[in-house]
Chains A and B, each alone.
Chain A
Amino acid sequence: MSRSKVTLAGVELKNPVIPASGTFGYGREYEKFYPLSRLGGISVKGTTETLRTGNLPPRIAETPSGMLNSVGLQNPGIDHFIAEELPYLKTKDIAVIANMAGRDIEGYRVIAEKLDSTDVDMIEVNISCPNVKAGGAAFGVSCEGAAAVTKAVRAATKKPVMVKLSPNVTNIADIARAVEAEGADAVSLINTLLGMRIDIRTRRPVLRNNVGGLSGPAVFPVAVRMVWQVANAVKIPVCGMGGISTWQDAVEMMMAGATAVQVGAAIFNDPYAPVKIAEGIERYCEDNGIADISEIVGSVEPW
């Protein structure tokens, strides 16, 4: 897989495909299908300062070509991640991206500090979770909030910092510029789009949380547009995600400006989706005489 090796914010990935946070746990379940080493990296389930139990069920609703979720950052907390999950992942020959979210600025700082002394390869800062009341998206929807979180994390760690952006904003490029100015090494986008479904028989929202995050192929064109806008607005690399389910989608996302891609909802339909996408990208390079997949990043020629 030499043609599809990429470097994202200084971290080498053997291919540009990363399962997205929240869709792949800590990889243990998918090791029962294939070795994790077939993937470039893994963005682990979002980790918070302490254990979070998450939202009441139902937490998922299917939508046309997609799904809504409202898990609510259920996770066992940063100390558990570092002690129990990270050592396992570090034996798997895969770049480990620690996705994390704080309740407040201080929370982000504390988690970043704890991660700094571990051997995670990169920190992905979630400022865009639509499913928790405090923190999460509250920071991601303003330039000031996004900048403040980035500044605190930057000061707490020397690890590469990638800030995950919310699409639920007026101008995502402005947010990207704000986090770049505070020292982010990369941005990843898009997180889920806030959505809602209602059961017309019961007149109740399908999700117990009323609203949730939309993902899946339905959001792909929105994600491509936003990645393209952000890639044109910042100098730091962009990790593109949102509805990618085939290698063709991944190539399209990279042409829009993504250095690497994350794959999420597609995994629920096909657990092998990230592997198939990685293999498809390599084959695409071979078939088209591309020596290095990075050549295509941002290569779209707009009209």
Chain B
Amino acid sequence: MEKYTQGMYPVIRKQTLAREIYDYTVYCPEIAQAAVCGQFVDIAAKGHLLRRPISLCGIDREKGTIRIVFEVRGEGTAEIARINEGDMIDIIAPLGGHGFDLLDKSRKAVAVGGGIGVPPLVPIAQHYGKNITVISGFRSAGAVILQDDFTSAGAETILCTDDGTAGRKGFVTDALAELLEREKPDIIYACGPMVMMKRVAEAAQAHDVRCQVSLEERMGCGVGACLVCACRIKLDGGERYAHVCKDGPVFDSREVIFQ
């Protein structure tokens, strides 16, 4: 039976990637062994009842580490960001019943990310190497993160910013549309704002390309017991609620009913 692990683990590296965006490497061999691409961890924030779910940006089984990159969005994540190198961090992991499905690395993949939705795409890029194009979008140059990670993985990168201060000006979905006119990948992965993922899903469907999206919803337990993180899913011609923590966070885009 699969096991969930909860424990205190040392932060061995902390970096600031952009304003209010932090990059932690945590030493937790048992979690690193069990975790797969697309899963998430649930982190305790001192003084807060609810943990904060954060997706995995890296899994290094040899070194026994995981990497998480998150943005301070409220008091809970601000509290987590006060944890420093050498401090312990309280983690439940690995969570998520369904991560990204990785095809053979010789296949052609495209990953599309927006803002703080970009970090979970890093392990995907490391898997496909030169056979992936990563299209990532940010508000402006100051918010751009993780481009070096994609490049060093061997991925082709297309950087977009809303204001054109870095890369090309415009939305990731425009860049994706242009790419899909030129070539047909075997799979598209997307993580970011709901409206972005909806457009990526539409483009994928129009070009008959398989597409997986990583969803986000406010969570309670993180393990599938409390049923708060509901998302609408098509099933057998009808609709039902799936739960992001247990049934996802990654779903086939054709299943998801985008709001």
Contact of A173 with B by CB under 8 A: no
Contact of B227 with A by CB under 8 A: yes
User: Is B241 a contact partner of A268 (Cβ separation < 8 A)?
Assistant: no
Known: A32-B1, A62-B76. A267 touches B227 (CB 8 A): no
User: Is A69 a contact partner of B224 (Cβ separation < 8 A)?
Assistant: no
Bound form: Cα–Cα A264–B49 in Å:
11
Contact of B223 with A by CB under 8 A: yes
Known: A23-B221, A29-B225, A54-B227. A60 touches B4 (CB 8 A): no
B interface residues, tally (CB under 8 Å) = 30
Contact of A120 with B by CB under 8 A: no
Name the residue in A22, A33, A269 with the highest tally of chain B Cβ atoms < 10 Å from its Cβ.
A269
A interface residues, tally (CB under 8 Å) = 35
User: Is A57 a contact partner of B228 (Cβ separation < 8 A)?
Assistant: yes
A245 — nearest CB in chain B belongs to which residue? B49
Q: What's the minimum C-beta distance from B80 to chain A, rounded to whole angstroms? A: 14
User: Is B240 a contact partner of A53 (Cβ separation < 8 A)?
Assistant: yes
User: Is B225 a contact partner of A25 (Cβ separation < 8 A)?
Assistant: yes
User: Is B6 a contact partner of A270 (Cβ separation < 8 A)?
Assistant: yes
Bound form: Cα–Cα A31–B4 in Å:
9
Contact of B17 with A by CB under 8 A: no
User: Is B220 a contact partner of A60 (Cβ separation < 8 A)?
Assistant: yes
Bound form: Cα–Cα A18–B220 in Å:
19
Return 12 A-B CB contacts under 8 Å, by A number.
Answer: A23-B225, A25-B225, A33-B6, A57-B217, A62-B48, A66-B49, A74-B241, A268-B221, A269-B49, A270-B6, A270-B44, A271-B92
- 20 additional A-B pairs beyond A29-B225, A62-B49, beta carbons within 8 Å, are A22-B226, A22-B227, A23-B220, A23-B225, A31-B1, A32-B1, A33-B4, A57-B230, A58-B218, A59-B230, A62-B48, A62-B50, A65-B49, A69-B220, A69-B228, A71-B227, A217-B49, A268-B51, A270-B44, A271-B221
Task: Identify the A interface with B (CB < 8 A).
Answer: 22-25, 29-33, 45, 53-54, 56-62, 65-67, 69, 71, 74, 216-217, 265-272
